[in-house]
Amino acid sequence: MKNKKTMKRVGFLAFVVLLLCATLVSCGGSGSTINSTWTAADADAQIYFSRILPQSDEAREKFIAASRGYNMSAEGFDDSKVELGVVLPVDVEAAKLALDLVKPTDDASVLKFNEFRDALTAEQVIEIVNRMKAVNTVDLTVKTNPLVWIGKFLGLFGNYVLALFVFAIIIELLLLYFGIRQQKNSIKQAKLSPKERAIRKKYAGRNDQVSMRKMQEEIQKLYQEEGFNPMSGCLPLLIQMPIVIALYNIVIDPLRYVLGKAAGLSAALSTFATTSRAAGGLGETLAGSGKGSIEILSVLKNTPGGIDHLRNFSYFSNASECADQLVNVQLPDFSLFGRLNMGLTPSFSPADKVQLWLLAIPVLTFVAYFASMKLNRKFMYQPAVQDAQMGCSNNMMDITMPLMSVYITFITPAAVGIYWIFKCIIGVVKQFVLHKLMPLPTFTEEDFKKAEKEMKAKSKGKRETLYVSAADGAKYRSLHHIDDDDDLPPRGMVAAPATKDDEEEEAPAAEQVPNDGRPVLKEDRKNSEKKKK
């Protein structure tokens, strides 16, 4: 009982910590202020504006767009109509409008700011952009990572969906050892079910806290005597968690793990893909979680000349080197049935209406996850007697976990959901095979009765110690067995010595049977003796 409470508290605490971390991450970066105060080091407009513009993503994007001849603040401006790679003459007025987004508040700085802004020229706009670009360099250093070897394996299959299916099979084979251990643990627990049932039957109808505690103590003692650890089944699950997290990273970031590129390149391509066309990006809206590169690579693969446009991207000093990393590289094929792009995230308003079919992925994930949990529970041992709280907990898990998978597949590329479906199906097949090869023991009613008798005999053997001898020779009932038998004398009562009358009372009540078939009782015998006298 104490272990259960401890595990519940630890689980609740872990949930709170994860929720807090998620909240902090989601709130990260908010509330930052722009330091646009003019200093003596800001000798001219180029130095001053190149220092303060990067503090606002919106201001920097609009200023770079103005350097390419586009006014993003103009009424009716549509970035999707901007042709990729087309550069127009510098729009100085649009650049000044972008600068107003980082205007200082103190009087001295405002005077200097207005002076620099009013005198701004087209040449200065280009210089400011070059200065901002010079201080932002993408780290293209490739670091050794064991997950790259797994990613390289995925790249051998050409089609990413096929690779995920094969990979799911391999992972389940690697985890087969833990599955066997878990099945053995279920078998061991099932063998103890008759004795456990006998203990529960002993306390049937007694719902008070003391009885429940004593029942749990007896069950735990039974487990210890038989060498069974109910927590050992959790070990395979704990070991699988880091593997699942590692696989998730491989699935969403093929640029790093399949193509073996630098980790910083994924972030650079994300910036390039989401920056407006007017500012030199691709103007795409990534519906995913913003992590990884699978959706970005899908966009690049379907954008003609997308890699070449990266060379002129004004956000990085080494944009050309970033583009060289993708030249002559065979990007993974994320298609399914030749049309559906598994690298995209399911959306209700995709650019291509065919991709609406990706909405089926979260639904199929829910069905696969829900069915796998139900089937796996049938193939594994389940206690014959479960309290209402445990049953409610299982029902909640059957719903909340699949719903959580639906949420995750809605914010990640469809390939993640595809892998999840594969894993659920293959996991059920594996559990079914283990169930057939290592079946759980079955018991008849005779086995349960035999176990009940065995537990009663074991409990009866302890009754000899119910009375302890005192110094005066009398026997007192032990306080350690207060609730073992309700028919025993009250606590502290002296066991009176047996008398002759008691012996007669313990003798059979019926000594002889008269002609009418009625047994002769002791009272009748005494009355007849009095009449004779």
Residue 203 has pLDDT above 80, yes or no: no
Give pLDDT, residue 477: 47
Residue 3 has pLDDT above 60, yes or no: no
- Mean pLDDT (the chain) is 76
Residue 369 has pLDDT above 70, yes or no: yes
**Segments making up each domain of the chain, as ranges:** 45-134, 137-465, 466-496, 498-528
Mean local confidence (pLDDT), 275-280: 93
How would residue 89 be classed by pLDDT, with cut points 50, 70 and 90?
A: very high
**Upper half-sphere CA count for residue 157 (Cβ side, 13 Å):** 15
Which has the closest alpha carbon to 34: 15, 72, 2, 60? 60
Give pLDDT, residue 509: 45
Structure tokens that stand for 117 in this block = 């802004």
What is the C-alpha to C-alpha distance for residues 274 and 270, in angstroms, rounded to an integer?
6
Segment 181-199, tens digit of pLDDT:
888 888 887 887 787 778 7
pTM of structure = 0.61
Give pLDDT, residue 482: 45
Measured over the CA atoms of residue 435, residue 438, residue 442 and residue 448, the dihedral's sign is negative
Segment 233-267, tens digit of pLDDT:
666 667 667 776 777 787 788 888 888 888 889 88
- Among 95-99, 471-475, 493-497, the range with the most confident prediction by mean pLDDT is 95-99
Residues in the chain: 533
How would residue 383 be classed by pLDDT, with cut points 50, 70 and 90?
A: low
Give pLDDT, residue 288: 54
Give pLDDT, residue 120: 93
Segment 492-525, tens digit of pLDDT:
444 445 444 444 444 444 444 454 545 555 555 5
Q: Which residue has the higher pLDDT, 525 or 487?
A: 525
Q: Which residue has the higher pLDDT, 229 or 532?
A: 229
494 — phi, psi (to 5°)? -75, 135
Give pLDDT, residue 304: 82
Give pLDDT, residue 27: 35
Structure tokens that stand for 257 in this block = 């793990």
**Percent of the chain's residues with pLDDT above 70:** 74
Which has the closest alpha carbon to 253: 146, 143, 413? 413
Give 156-185 as a 3 state SS string.
Answer: CCCEHHHHHHHHHHHHHHHCHHHHHHHHHH
**Percent of the chain's residues with pLDDT above 90:** 20
How would residue 216 be classed by pLDDT, with cut points 50, 70 and 90?
A: confident
